[in-house]
Chain A
Amino acid sequence: MRDTPLSACEKNFIIKALGDRKRLDGRQPYDYRKVKITFGADRGCCKVNLGQTQVLAQVSCEITSPRAVRPSDGVLFINVELSPMASPAFEVGRMSDLGVEINRLLERCLRESRCLDTESLCIISGEKVWQIRVDVNVMNHDGNIIDCSSIAAIAALAHFRRPDVTVDGSEVIVHPSDEKDPIPLSVHHMPICVTFSFYEQGKYLLVDPTDKEEKVMDGKMVIGMNKHREICTLQVSGEMLLMKDQVLRCSNIAVVKVTEITELIQRALENDRQARLNGKKFGFAESEPTESILTNQQEPEEIQATETQMDEDSEEEKGMNGDLKTERKSKVKILDKGVGMIGEGGASTWGVEDNEMTEELQKEAKVTQPDHKEVTHTTGTLNATNCVTLKIDLN
């Protein structure tokens, strides 16, 4: 099924906002969305949330015969599945172009950068080696699948434990986990991919584009780096022309981001390790928050409340219900059931008012109606004294 195309006015809006260095979700141009890493009960299972983009990675191992060219090296196989669950644009069956691109990128980032020590995966040279398979499933697509998948894959590899083996001549004994502790894979370094999207022939640059921003971009650049400032992979794609200094600038930005994310992965791994050690419960079931509204959950966002000036002509009150608060900060005054009012002097744009109002009202709604009634209908009127009255209909 085809994805709905982005309308021309949305495109223009996004690009125009970029000119003012503003993004749709209020981030700075070089900011990442919130990264949440959780591990499952199984070893090697990792789920990463990058904003709304969600990716699940699972690592498994089996014993196979090695490749003819490298008899003493294990095999690392990476497979990325774009399931239709992630986006209506993805289809089952033959891999689309995007799927091939992501697969190859992750392969190059993880395999050719030698982040995993494949020689330690050898059991009997030339006959039996471990084949490590990383399956990455994209569960929700809200932009920047590449970054999310790379974080998930590397975290899963670091989390995985393979069964211990003893070689007795030509006999190989695989010990199950209750006999001998499974051993971790030797991960040399953690390459993380950072995606940059370009707009207006390279004039504007964004880190971590969302789905809408991806649809509008001219082209993108993916830099895979580890925290030792080594570039593991670099790819410029899309139909655009770049200058060399842009590439260098991006790599500098990538260094900062990669260090942050590597730290986050380490912390998550450490937390999981502690939880397992202390016998506490671990896994996905424990990390999902319960007793909360599961649908339409919106995390509280920081909104810039601009300081507005006091207006002298606040005496001219026409048809206003309630007093006028002359304080600087906007405060919601509940006048009647379902009627809230914010009084502020001075000129302020609708946009700012709207945000503040909705946030205040959401807070008020939660406080005054604890049985979670939904706000179905709001009307706002702006009268002459720059005072806003809101009437909310609740059912």
Chain B
Amino acid sequence: MSERGVTLLSACISNGSFSCPQHWACPPAEMCDQTFLAITFGPCDCCSDTKPLMNIYLKNEPVNYCSLCVERMACQGLQPNETLATLKMESETLKTKLEEERAKLHDVELHQVAERVEALGQFVMKTRRTLKGHGNKVLCMDWCKDKRRIVSSSQDGKVIVWDAFTTNKEHAVTMPCTWVMACAYAPSGCAVACGGLDNKCSVYPLSLDKNENLAAKKKSVAMHTNYLSACSFTNSDMQILTSSGDGTCALWDVESGQLLQSFHGHSADVLCLDLAPSETGNTFVSGGCDKKANVWDMRSGQCIQSFETHESDINSVRYYPSGDAFASGSDDATCRLYDLRADREVAIYSKESIIFGASSVDFSLSGRLLFGGYNDYTINVWDVLKGTRVSILFGHENRVSTLRVSPDGTAFCSGSWDHTLRIWA
């Protein structure tokens, strides 16, 4: 036993909080040796690990604790003087323990099991449409449920609604701020939401009358204390989920602008979010500059799961179509897959030759393909199960900043700092 352990034990004995049955009268060092001899081996009454145990008495009840739990319990007596340091130590111990526990279930790698899956054939993916019209970097885009319309936003404050199939612009709004980093299409197709450096999320109803000034009907819904990084309607036009540079996410009632729920837990800017695809689910995932991806319960505002394996900012998160897993894209030039049931990272998508960050990711309809837009102007297509790259798509002349697959999976759209959007199929 460590020297510290000895000191703690003797401190606790004098406190009377527990007593060693045979050796209470002995000086600490001797007692320690004797107690050590009385050790049994088995499951700890506190943490259930099978370890060498100490037979001690807690409030006159005999218990068998492993030395780690004895120390921890002994420290509890020191609660009023608990320092940040001891708490941090406890936290680190728990993290290590958690990692050990999870590692026990890691009996195989996903790509190993996927060896028995048939390899995908050669892919021919081309740009089928190029949407030109933005005067500056395209920062974000979203699809309409009708599978052909999209909304896009750019650095110069312009938000444009296109019929991507015909490449016609249908609506255009100029926001009062620059860097409109977030935009979303309402499920009904009758409105769009957007925001950025104005720290707000505003909803614009789309009028059938092309001449009508959309800006007049603007509705301010969300208010953050820093830039708006992402926004998404839930299953209805009536609620919006937002994430912000102020480190929080929030759920808002569109009609009243009221805050329904806020989500605290990130320790730095939150850059992205995605709602779980299930009809019955009430969860969403967010990624931030603290390298963490958090899964939240929308009802309670609690963080229910957290993943921290990336080495840099997480720019994009997207659920796997079944809702049991999600992918992330990061400045560390990798994309990763995390499974919620295993509660850990299950795959990394990276290559030595990819040294620029991934800005945006999305799955194909079956979840077999993961499309990643990168800061090196390319789009890499990954085989999700096998972990290999299937294709690399060139075309954009500057960073790819946003990428989404269409609602029926027939195409995906990429937006870039080269001022254009491309539809690929």
Do A and B make up one complex?
Answer: no
